[in-house]
Amino acid sequence: MIKKIFGEFLPEYKMFNSRLLISGHISDTYLIESDKGLFVLQKLNHYVFPNIPGLMQNKVLVAAHLAQDKMFLHQVLRFYPAKNNLYYFYDDNGNYWNLMDHIGNSKVLNKTENAQQAHEAGKAFGHFISHLNHFDANQLIEVIPGFHKMSFRFQQFDQTLTLALPERRKMADQWIEQVLSQREKMHQLQYLHEAGEIPLRVTHNDTKLSNILFDENDRALAVIDWDTLMPGIVHYDFGDSVRSICSTAVEDETDLNKVQFNTEFYQNYHRGFLSEVETILSATEKELLPLAAQTITFIMGLRFLTDFLNGDIYYKTKYPEHNLHRAANQLTLVNRMQSVLE
């Protein structure tokens, strides 16, 4: 099956072998060995992303922009059109696929091991944003509408709260109280953006450490996983990175004492990021970076909490309180950040 799909993109190439690299939460990724080198074939998830043609167009437009930028230092993802001349192939089972070059001699880091890695990650995502400074973000479609929009997430939360089972509501009491008390503050970025104080940019929207390919010396080679490229504000990308890169625990750690904010990693990430975006960001954008870390961590806590109150319909769970524990973890991290960043 994989051979046939590869043939839809590069019919003149001979595929020797294919291997499932990762079956992530989102897509299935295959490494393809062919007579003319290695490729990465991905099945895109059309449940998460309802508009795959639009998503592919986003990726191809950004790739074209970065590929012609001589000052862009990282490798740019290169996508191949299929026989139908579109950059995706729609198979008989209703699945969408895309094919790109494999970036060799690379590795993925799942957990930040040292400050140098945090610094390099900040530089990589900062470099990415800064080289899209002149790309008109309005050319991109919103692949997940309202993804980081706080008022939308609160609307979902408010609705759920009125319908939640009393038992679940009681279990979540402490965290419900926290999100309600931080409501106003967590809307600040959205309001400033809507008031025109924070400009629209191209943002990656999934800026975790594992979406950077590193070389053997921990130097960034490429930012990958471009499915969530969208118009956004710089704070989404900065905040989401800090949330994952600077926490001392995984997202569902249940021992909240282990959930700490690593300030050394934060300072290094921030320094690396700023070194790339210093001249393109406004003073307002820069000042609000610490609030961004709290806001994006908060929004994740809010979404987990909403899902818990809603009976776990969005996130996959391994046990009944899984979403509650994730919410507690993220909201605890918000509090730890607050005590350091303010």
**Which residue's Cβ has the minimum distance to Mg ion?**
225
Name residues contacting ligand ATP, limited to 212-231 (CB under 6 A): 213, 224-225, 227
- Report what 21 binds from Mg ion, ligand ATP, none; CB cut-off 5-8 Å by kind: ligand ATP
Binding mask 302-331 for ligand ATP (x = CB under 6 A): ------------------------------
Name residues contacting ligand ATP, limited to 108-147 (CB under 6 A): 108
From 157-165, 209-217, 230-238, 295-303, give the range in contact with ligand ATP by CB under 6 A: 209-217
User: 289-309 and 150-163 helices cross at what angle (nearest 10)?
Assistant: 30
| Contact call for residue 29 and ligand ATP (CB under 6 A) | yes
**Closer residue to Mg ion in complex, CB, 23/114:** 23
**Which residue's Cβ has the minimum distance to ligand ATP?**
24
- For residues 315, 318, 321, 326, the Cα torsion angle rounded to the nearest 10 degrees is -50
**Closer residue to Mg ion in complex, CB, 211/332:** 211
**Closer residue to ligand ATP in complex, CB, 45/267:** 45
Q: Count CA within 13 A, CB hemisphere, residue 222.
A: 18
**Closer residue to Mg ion in complex, CB, 124/186:** 124
- Report what 240 binds from ligand ATP, Mg ion, none; CB cut-off 5-8 Å by kind: none
Cβ(205)–Cβ(236) below 8 Å = yes
User: In 3D, which of 11, 206, 227, 222 has the Cα closest to residue 104?
Assistant: 222
Binding mask 80-109 for ligand ATP (x = CB under 6 A): --------------------x-xx--x-x-
Give the pair of three-digit tokens for residue 205. 């929207």
Q: How far apart are the first and last CA of the chain?
A: 54
Closest contact distance (angstroms) between CB of 226 and Mg ion is 10
Closest contact distance (angstroms) between CB of 184 and ligand ATP is 32
Q: Which residues bind Mg ion (CB under 5 A)?
A: 211, 225
| Phi, psi for 77 (deg, rounded to 5) | -60, 135
User: 322-341 and 289-309 helices cross at what angle (nearest 10)?
Assistant: 160
Output the CA–CA distances (angstroms, integers) from residue 296 to 67, 177, 215, 302, 331, in the order listed. 30, 18, 29, 10, 11
| Contact call for residue 40 and ligand ATP (CB under 6 A) | yes
| Contact call for residue 210 and ligand ATP (CB under 6 A) | yes
- What is the distance between the alpha carbons of residues 277 and 286, in angstroms, rounded to a whole number? 9
User: In 3D, which of 43, 47, 36, 32 has the Cα closest to residue 98?
Assistant: 43
**Closer residue to ligand ATP in complex, CB, 97/157:** 97
User: In 3D, which of 26, 233, 234, 199 has the Cα closest to residue 127?
Assistant: 234
State which H helix or E strand residue 2 sits in.
Answer: helix 2-9
**Binding region for ligand ATP (CB under 6 A):** 21-22, 24-27, 29, 40, 77, 100, 102-103, 106, 108, 210-211, 213, 224-225, 227
